Amino acid sequence: MNLPTIRKVFEGVADRREMFRMFDRHVQRPDRWQGDDSALYRGEWFEIGQVEHDYMFEVLPPLWMRGDMFAMREFLTGSITSVFFSLTIDGRVRYFHGYCDLSDPRSPDCLKAVVTERESRPAKAMTRDERLEHIWSATNDEYRGYADWRFPLAARGRRIVIVYGRDRGRDFKLLDHLTDAEIGSKLPVHLRYLPDAMAA
């Protein structure tokens, strides 16, 4: 699975339930914990509310704090841990969560720079990859998974989501093979007609 280094995985502000679900968006992955899963998480980020940010700050003493940023003491996998931070964008304070690889001391600052650039764009828009990541994040576990024996060998282990046909039939399809129409049908109405953003 080739994933970009730093990527937005949810459009909008995640509530507490959504935040906890997205902490492990890859829970169903095959052979969980048997290899280095760092690449799955490294660079994933999404917006949260102040209440969720403050709640996470009070859960455990942070591993470290730097101004408006703190890292969780517990590591998800390898050297990957949650980093929470706030940014003032267009005169409004906003709060974010991201996974950083703390083996690279520049990782938190790089994440923050990418989020600042992405969220400072004048027009609200989404790339195709952001649309797919949002679909993956927002889809319940029963309607998403990983390709198994029913798929060609080359596709096994890749992300799949359920799609519905015109005949009301349903089947799983590779996430990155969804058509524009299928993507539109899976997005909430307020996100369906956003313009395409240029990939960073």
Give the least confident one: 24-33, 65-74, 167-176, 177-186: 24-33
Give the least confident one: 23-32, 49-58, 104-113, 116-125: 23-32
**pTM for this prediction:** 0.84
Residue 135 or 189, more confident: 135
Q: Which helix (H) or strand (E) holds 126?
A: none
pLDDT tens for 150-169 read 888 888 888 999 888 776 66
Distances (CA, A) of 79 to 2, 53, 69, 110, 141: 20, 21, 17, 16, 26
Cross-strand pairs, 95: 48, 86
- In the chain, % of residues over pLDDT 70: 88
CA dihedral 80, 162, 147, 1 (to 10 degrees): -40
pLDDT tens for 70-101 read 999 887 877 889 999 999 998 899 999 999 99
Distances (CA, A) of 101 to 13, 40, 74, 109, 143: 23, 11, 13, 11, 30
CA distance 77 to 105: 17
Q: What does the domain layout of the chain look like in residue ranges?
A: 7-119, 128-192
pLDDT of residue 51: 94
